[in-house]
Amino acid sequence: MIETPQSWPCTLCLKPSRDTVHASCRQHVYEDLAELPALYRQLGDALQPSRRGDQTRGGTRTAPLPCSLDALDLRARGGIQGVLTSWEDDVRDTLDWEERPFRGSIQQDVDGAAAFLQNQLAWICDSHPAAKELGDEIRQIAGQARRLITGERPARRIPVACPCGQVLRVTLDTPGVRCGGCETQYGHADVLRLPMAQRTAA
């Protein structure tokens, strides 16, 4: 008789795993956390006036405004800093540790909170009740920052139909989604297997 190893849904991606969290899933969050301080700095560079002559092409002025506003949002207190420090506060509170120290500038908050979360990531993945939300938020904000820096358009959302009739709007890189209609939780691969929703003429 072959003993099948026990498996359960990975906390982060909900796919079967022999550990609480896949090592690769934890690694992705770790890498995002490691990169966020650099992304924060690069967003500052992205806000500098462009020196490339791309504003004269075709005589039309390109309007960098919406992108710059997003970059400003991410760099403001409450942007990347807000996401990282609110999770740091949450972890400290859950562990009953002393409060987050005053670190100074927004950049110093980003650096400090990202390092703190990297150091606690193993514990978070194993024991924090909201590990998935943390992972999703870190992934989302790091992805948003990267897209602003590279000038890539935000990922297109595709409407897919849940068997219950609800239309879910997902991106190709979605980590997963919960149907608002029937509460089914879909992992990344499952959600992409759903049929495209029909465009209904309004």
Q: Name the site residues for Zn ion (rule: CB under 5 A).
A: 10, 12-13, 22, 25, 162, 164, 166, 179, 181-182
Q: Give CA torsion, residues 107, 112, 117, 118, to 10 deg.
A: 100
Smallest gap from Cβ 176 to Zn ion, in A, equals 10
CB of 45 to Zn ion, least distance (A): 33
Which residue lies nearer to Zn ion by CB, 13 or 113? 13
Q: Which is nearer to Zn ion, 19 or 90 (CB)?
A: 19
Residue whose CB is less far from Zn ion, 116 or 186: 186
Q: Residue 80 CB, nearest distance to Zn ion (Å)?
A: 24
Q: Is 191 exposed, middle or buried (0-12, 13-18, 19+ CB in 10 A)?
A: buried
Cα 23 to Cα 10: distance, rounded to the nearest angstrom: 10
Beta-carbon contacts of residue 68 (< 8 Å; ≥ 6 apart): 46, 47
Q: Specify the residue, 9 or 143, whose C-beta has the smaller distance to Zn ion.
A: 9
Closest distance to Zn ion from the beta carbon of 46 (Å):
31
Residue 174 near residue 188 (C-beta atoms within 8 A):
yes
92's CB contacts (< 8 A; 6+ apart) are 98, 99, 100
DSSP state string for 151-169: TPPPPPPEEEE-TTS-EEE
CB atoms within 10 A of CB 70: 18
- Name the minimum Å distance from CB 166 to Zn ion: 4
Name the residue nearer to Zn ion (CB basis): 43 or 194: 194
